[in-house]
Each structure stands twice: as C-alpha cells, then as structure tokens.
C-alpha cells in the first residue's frame, strides 16, 4: 500500500480558512445575540431567549468548531489580536499577518452582512430595531449593557484579550501543549471571557468581530469602534511578548549544548 501524499496548504487556502473561520464565529455568535438572546416569553411567562449565557456559549462553540474544521489549514486564528499575539510570541511570521487580518475582517463582514440579509425578511421592523439597538456592537458609556465607561472597556479588552492569547499559546505549545483538546480549551476560555465581560462592553477581544457589527450598528458603534480595534491588539501583543519571555525556550544546537556540558 502506497503512502498518501498530503499537499501542504497554500497561501490562498490558508486565507480562505481564516475567512471561513471568522465568518462562522461572527455569523453564529452574533446571530445568536440578535435572534435568540431576548427572543421573548412563552404563554406561561417563561423566558425563551438564551440570554448572556447562551450568547457566551455561541461564541465558544463556533470558535471551537472553526478550530477543529480549519485550524489544521491556517492555524485557526480567526482574530487579528490572536494573529498579532502569535507573531509577538515568535509563533507566526510578521510578514504574513496583514493578509491574515484582511481575511479575518472580510470573513466577519460577510457574516454580519448575511445576518442583515436574513433580517430583511424578518417580521415588521426587526432589522431597523436591531440596527437602532447597535446590532450587538461593542460599546461603552450609554452603549455598554451595564453602563460601564471608557476606562473599564479599555482595561477589560486589554486584560481579557491577554488572558485569551496566553491560553492559546499555552495549549498549542509544540512540546507542552495538547493539540487534541486545544480547540476545546480555547473555546471554553472564550465562553468564560464572555460570561464575565458582556455586561462591560459586549465583549470584543476580537477586532474582526467588532468591525463586523459596527458596520451595521450606527454612528455610536462606529465612533467607539477604535477602542475595540486598538486595545484587543494591545492585549494580544502583551500576551505574546510575555509568553515568549517566560515560556518559550530556544534549544541550543548539539555542538553548543555539548560545549556547555564540558
């Protein structure tokens, strides 16, 4: 029996995987936030919507699905902050980062655009109401679900994104990580992050997700978008540099290693 040759993924297939993964993440999670989070009440008054918990699970589950579907092709970043954090940690080439980020932004924008298309055929003024409500965009002040200000949004985005990227770097480490459960660990981490931070600013930790919703979220969402483009990236970069300083080791070549032993 001859061995089957596996063709390495090309740049085009990697970018397609990044776009598809980001599309899945945005389409599934923002769709849950818009269609199912506050769906309404049953005849007996029981809430039918999935609420913050359901939306948090949607983010984690869609990310997990994307990682297992396309992570072996592109690495499964689906997030500019992750791409830049991996580059800062020495796990990804800086020169390839811009193309990955463009693919992620395109995938996210396609996701919300298709949600808008569905909304065009929704009941009554559903789409207008969703857009007037910010279209699940990130925000602070009056746009924050819990009324948190700009400072809280900045701190939350830096810290939660840093935590997220540190977990990713840890579970995918070539020597100490466990690739079989990496997707599960990363997805559950994103669930936990959303459970904690949705009330603060609707949780970004992903500039592609933030741009995708702000495109249809109105003036307020667009005017506050800079926070959710800049500070998740800051958190990702800090996590990458920290992980590289603390946990990444460079093995010495054999001759140098033997010389040190002598």
95 Cβ contact partners less than 8 Å away, ≥ 6 residues apart: none
Q: Tokens for 23, please give them.
A: 């599309």
Per-residue pLDDT, 100: 98
Identify the DSSP state of 144. S
Tens of each residue's pLDDT in the chain, 262 residues:
445 566 889 999 999 999 999 999 999 999 999 999 988 877 887 788 999 999 999 999 999 999 999 999 999 999 999 999 999 999 999 999 999 999 999 999 999 999 999 999 999 889 999 999 999 999 999 999 999 999 999 999 999 999 999 999 999 987 665 668 999 999 999 999 999 999 999 999 999 999 999 999 999 999 999 999 999 999 999 999 999 999 886 554 454 434 444 4
Q: How many residues in total does the chain contain?
A: 262
Nearest alpha-carbon partner for 190 in 103, 65, 89: 65
Measured CA angle at 78 (ends 150, 165), to 5 deg: 60
pLDDT of residue 250: 52
Class of residue 97 by CB neighbours under 10 A (exposed 0-12, middle 13-18, buried 19+): middle
> Is the model's pTM score more than 0.85?
yes
Domains and CATH numbers, the chain: 11-248 (1.20.1080.10)
**Which pLDDT value is given to residue 47?**
83
Please report the pLDDT score of residue 252 as a whole number: 43
Phi/psi at 146 (5° precision): -105, 5
Token duo for residue 25: 């993440």
């Amino acid at each position: 029996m001859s061995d089957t040759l596996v063709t390495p993924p090309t740049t085009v297939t990697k970018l397609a995987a990044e776009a598809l993964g980001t599309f899945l993440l945005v389409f599934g999670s923002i769709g849950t936030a818009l269609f199912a989070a506050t769906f309404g009440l049953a005849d007996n008054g029981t809430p039918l919507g999935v609420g913050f918990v359901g939306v948090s699970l949607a983010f984690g589950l869609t990310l997990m699905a994307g990682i297992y579907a396309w992570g072996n092709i592109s690495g499964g970043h689906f997030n500019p902050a992750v791409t830049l954090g991996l580059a800062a940690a020495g796990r990804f080439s800086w020169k390839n980062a811009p193309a990955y980020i463009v693919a992620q932004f395109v995938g996210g924008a396609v996701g919300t655009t298709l949600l808008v298309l569905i909304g065009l055929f929704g009941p009554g003024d559903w789409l207008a109401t969703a857009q007037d409500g910010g279209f699940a965009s990130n925000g602070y002040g009056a746009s924050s679900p819990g009324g948190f200000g700009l400072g809280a949004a900045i701190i939350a985005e830096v810290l939660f994104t840093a935590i997220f990227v540190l977990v990713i770097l840890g579970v995918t480490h070539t020597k100490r990580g466990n690739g079989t459960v990496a997707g599960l660990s990363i997805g559950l981490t994103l669930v936990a992050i959303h459970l904690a931070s949705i009330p603060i600013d609707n949780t970004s930790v992903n500039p592609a997700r933030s741009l995708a919703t702000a495109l249809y979220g109105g003036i307020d969402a667009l005017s506050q978008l800079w926070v959710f483009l800049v500070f998740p990236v800051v958190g990702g970069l800090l996590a990458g540099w920290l992980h590289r300083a603390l946990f990444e080791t460079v093995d010495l070549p054999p001759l140098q290693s033997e010389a040190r032993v002598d």
